[in-house]
Amino acid sequence: MAKNTICLWFDKDAEDAARFYAETFPDSAVGKVTRAPGNYPEGKEGDVLVVEFTVAGIPCMGLNGGSAFKHSEAFSFQILTENQEETDRYWNAIVGNGGRESDCGWCRDRWGISWQITPRVLMEAINAGGGEAKRAFDAMMTMQKIDVARIEAARRG
């Protein structure tokens, strides 16, 4: 287990989420699955309690802690994509698996985790500054899933 790990709270579906992430994103895997050694407030002995997994190279653990806490956009994974095909693949995987679309390249998976599916061209445009950044930013503000061709057109003016 890594020295610094992101811990994500789930009601009871940490293993399902970890397996979905491992199937969807490169450099992702499910590691150790630990079962509860005894009963706890929203579970019983033998239930999956903790799942160690990696998402796009980031070490994580899913804790099946119950329904007390919900996810929000205050935490998100940002996945940098190289082109429209990759953007579409990740977006469609998340939204098509019970997730939902949001604005500006954000979507939420069926477990409530937020994702920013962000084409590299958008970040390059914003980091360029000036009019190019403003045009790309203004275009992004009208989108849900990012349209690479529209961002490229906005960069050119």
For the segment 95-139, what is each residue's pLDDT rounded down to a tens digit?
999 999 999 999 999 999 999 999 999 999 999 999 999 999 999
Other CB atoms within a 10 A radius of the CB of residue 123 amount to 14
Q: What is the pLDDT of residue 2?
A: 80
Residue 8 confidence (pLDDT) above 80 = yes
Percentage of residues of the chain with pLDDT beyond 90: 97
What is the percent of the chain with per-residue pLDDT over 70, rounded to a whole number? Answer: 100
What is the rounded distance in angstroms from the CA atom of residue 156 to the CA atom of residue 10?
43
- 3 or 151: which leads in pLDDT: 151
Average pLDDT along the chain: 97
Helix residue ranges, H only, 2-147: 14-24, 84-96, 120-128, 130-140
Residue 79 and residue 43 in contact, taking contact as beta carbons nearer than 8 Å: no
Give the pair of three-digit tokens for residue 20: 């979905």
pTM of the model: 0.94
Sign of CA dihedral 52, 64, 3, 26: positive
Tell me: pLDDT of 1 over 80.
no
Residue 43 binned pLDDT confidence (cut-offs 50, 70, 90): very high
Q: What's the pLDDT tens digit per position in 48-58?
A: 999 999 999 99
Residue 74 has φ and ψ, to the nearest 5°, of -65, -20
Confidence class of residue 36 from pLDDT cuts 50, 70 and 90? very high
Nearest alpha carbon to residue 70 among 35, 108, 16, 21: 108
